Structure 1
Amino acid sequence: MTQPPPPQDNNNPYAQQQPQQPGYGYPQQQPPAPGQPYAPFPQQQGQAPMGFPPPPAARSGNTGLAILAAVVVALVLAGIYGAIMKATEHEIGYAAVAVGAVVGFTAGKIGGRNEALPFICAVISLVAVYLGQISGLAMAFADYANIGFFEALFDHFEIINEAWKSESDVLTYVFMAVGAIAAFGSSKKAAL
């Protein structure tokens, strides 16, 4: 003989529950695959394993706008670096590092994770440090010749560039390289 099903009580929430599956409410784990020491964590599609936050979404940005912003920032910083160089009458390595770091940070924040962007930032930083040193010499030449800055820079560029070449030493190129490295690194860090 079969027994009749127990009466259902609509006021009792436990009376309508389905019997528990083995595993106490957790999904059944699959046995480990051959060659794997542990069974995989049970997870739902698109979710991180138990208790772990999901990985951050890849941040994409506008590479063209990032390069444009890096060029604008580089030109402004080159002018500031030139003014500092003229005021102190010598090169300052930390200024070259700051130029590179700010150029890279700006491009990384706007451009996101683009593999080519750190390399582009390094080149822009090299040019910015060079232009900063040239503008510092052009400011000094303009004061010496009693002419305007832009006249000194554009009309007498050959003289200023020759002065830069003659005054350049190993530290000049080290500062430029360190600025490029700072641009590369800060671009990668800002893109995260």
Structure 2
Amino acid sequence: MSYPPDPNNPYGQPQQPGYGYPQQAPPAAGYGYPQPAAQPMYGYPPVAPQRMSMPGLMVTARVFLFIIGAVQVLITAGLLIGAAGAKKVANEHTTGSDTAIFGNAAASVLLVIGVVYLLAAVLSITLGVKFGSGGPATRITTIVYGSIALLLGLGVLISSITGGAQSQVAGAAVGAGFGVGIGVLWIAICVLWIAAVTTRDGVAWFNRPRY
């Protein structure tokens, strides 16, 4: 005749859960128990966000901004040198004479134009730099800058065509032709600036998320 095992017997066999014995759940993770590490889903490794590359049209516009900025710096230097020369000529003549008056006026005009070109050079180079990291404000500034420059280019083109048509002097005709070429080139560059930042790729570039 068999007897059930004594639970208080230290030499008895360990109790096995079975019929009539409730299953014990493993201790829940909490204070004093390590948390199980989260495992990534099989077949779905973590994907790092990809950096967007600058559109090709914007790269071209950026290069032209740097080139135009460098040319504007050279023009500024030439205008300031001319202003200094005109001022020197004015100082060498008697105050109130026609030469002195003309020299001072020419120096003032050249100085003002030189300052304008210097500010334009700073803006061109700054926009070129900000193309890499700027946002919507850079895009809007480029549109305004390109629009104003486009109007100036149209003015140069129209005045060159009108002056060349009315002039009968060979030298003036050559100068008018040069002005027409400069005007057409400047208008093309301004259109490139505006188009680069108003196309869908340009808008997406300036609105891209920053990481």
Instruction: Report if TM-score (shorter chain) is over 0.5.
Output: no
Larger RCO: 1 or 2 (CA < 8 Å, sep 6+) = 1
Greater Rg over alpha carbons, structure:
2
Q: TM-score, normalised by structure 1?
A: 0.30
Q: TM-score, normalised by structure 2?
A: 0.28
